[in-house]
Structure 1
Amino acid sequence: MPSRVTRGLGAVLAVCLGTFAQADVDLATADTCLTDHLSHNQNPSACIDQAHQRCLTTPETMTASAVLCFGQAREAWNIGIAANMDNITQNADDRIAAIAAVELKYDLLANLMQCDRMEELAKLGAVATGDQIARQRAQCEASAAGLVYLRVKMRAQSLQ
């Protein structure tokens, strides 16, 4: 029978991560990038832009393609987050797993709140088009999930 923490973690992941789609981000490459950046005392957030390279280079005239690309990237990060949280749940005691679930929830919510902020400011500025705002929002949400993935991955590695 699953523990209360495991059931709670499942609920948190379902709410925070949503449904999964075919992924565009290669998590193994992202993991290698993370390890490399950390070993050289470099900021690992560059690994997110590297993983999003195809999306970032989609022409401005192809907003729908870029939004779809970033959406697939976000889903790939979500799959990685769920896998790492499963690892934490299996390898840590219930208290540590519960703390990791709370950290995950609020890391993701804080990141997504920044996406809301950027979108609202872009709409107020009236300089960006609707397509530009949609693309920016999709990129922000993918990056938000990517940053959470990096944090969860580092937490999972620290338990080994």
Structure 2
Amino acid sequence: MFSRPVALAATFLLTGWTLPALAQDISTAATPACVERARSDGADPKLCLAQVHAPCQSISAETPALVTLCFDTAREAWTRATAARLDEITHDAPEQIGARTRIDTKYDLLAGLLQCDRLEELGHLTEIEDDRLLLEKTRCEATATGLAYIRLLWRVTKD
């Protein structure tokens, strides 16, 4: 069985759709600076999430599979950024801090993903179309993954 991104990509190939250049704009590179700005301004760092998800939000809701693929791309970007930051912390910080940071991040992510599963199950009780339900779950997963990364940055600042 194919993974969700592979299945969505196959759908686009069969229908002639391609992921717009907007998805190439998905980058978490500016997120650390955004979180630091939020810290110094006393602002909510969750606003940094919107910057990364903006390309996905700009895709027409009339193409839910395309929006779903975009959010899956965002989720993957958040995952890579989190892994890279955790690797830095593990390498640079004392073992106890690295272990605690990994545990905190793991459970931040799991708590968010658990809510995504809950929303999906509740969605099956409604008459929502499967492609819309997949879109909402994927958006939720991208958000949960992004928030776990933002919390990681908020808790541990790079010296």
TM-score with structure 2 setting the length: 0.79
User: Could you tell me how far apart the structure 1 residues matched to 2:135 and 2:90 are?
Assistant: 35
Q: Work out whether residues 24 and 73 of structure 1, in 8 Å CA contact, stay in contact via their aligned partners in 2.
A: no
**Which residue of 1 is the match for residue 32 of structure 2?**
31
| Residues 67, 139 of structure 1: 8 Å contact kept | yes
SS in 1 for 2:80: helix
Match of 1:6 in 2: none
Does the 8 Å contact 2:28/2:81 carry over to 1? yes
Q: Match for residue 16 of structure 1? A: none
Equivalent residue number for residue 156 of structure 1: 156
Measure the CA separation in 1 of the matches of 2:42 and 2:123.
Answer: 34
The correspondence of residues 6-45 of structure 1 with structure 2, limited to 5 A, is 24-45=25-46
**By how many angstroms is 1:29 displaced?**
2.1
Q: Tell me if structure 1 keeps the 8 A contact 2:64–2:132.
A: yes
- Distance change >3 Å, CA 141–CA 112, structure 1 → 2: same
Give the length in aligned residue pairs.
Answer: 137
Q: 1:77–1:149: 8 Å Cα contact kept in structure 2? A: yes
Name stretches of at least 5 consecutive residues in structure 2 with no aligned partner.
1-22
Q: Structure 1 length normalisation: TM-score?
A: 0.78
Structure 1, unpaired ranges of 5+:
1-21
Give me the identity figure in percent: 37
Note the 1:1-160 alignment, pairs <5 A: 24-126=25-127, 128-157=128-157, 160=159
Kindly provide the amino acid, as one letter, of the partner of residue 153 in structure 1: L
Shift of 1:154: 2.4
Does the Cα contact within 8 Å between 1:77 and 1:146 map onto a contact in 2?
Answer: yes
Report the equivalent of 2:15: none
2:112 aligned counterpart, secondary structure: helix
C-alpha distance after superposition, 1:41-69 (max 9, x if no partner): 11111111221011112112211111110
Q: CA deviation at 1:112?
A: 0.1
CA deviation vs aligned residue, 1:103-123 (integer Å, no higher than 9, x gap):
111111101001011111122
The aligned counterpart of 1:19 is none
- Give yes or no for contact 1:37–1:43 (8 Å, CA) kept in 2: yes
RMSD of the TM alignment (CA)? 1.7
Amino acid at match of 1:155: R
Hey, what's the Cα distance between the residues in 2 that align with 1:76 and 1:63? 20
More displaced, 116-125 or 105-114? Answer: 116-125
Deviates most, 53-62 or 76-85: 53-62
Q: Is contact 1:85-1:156 (8 Å) kept?
A: no
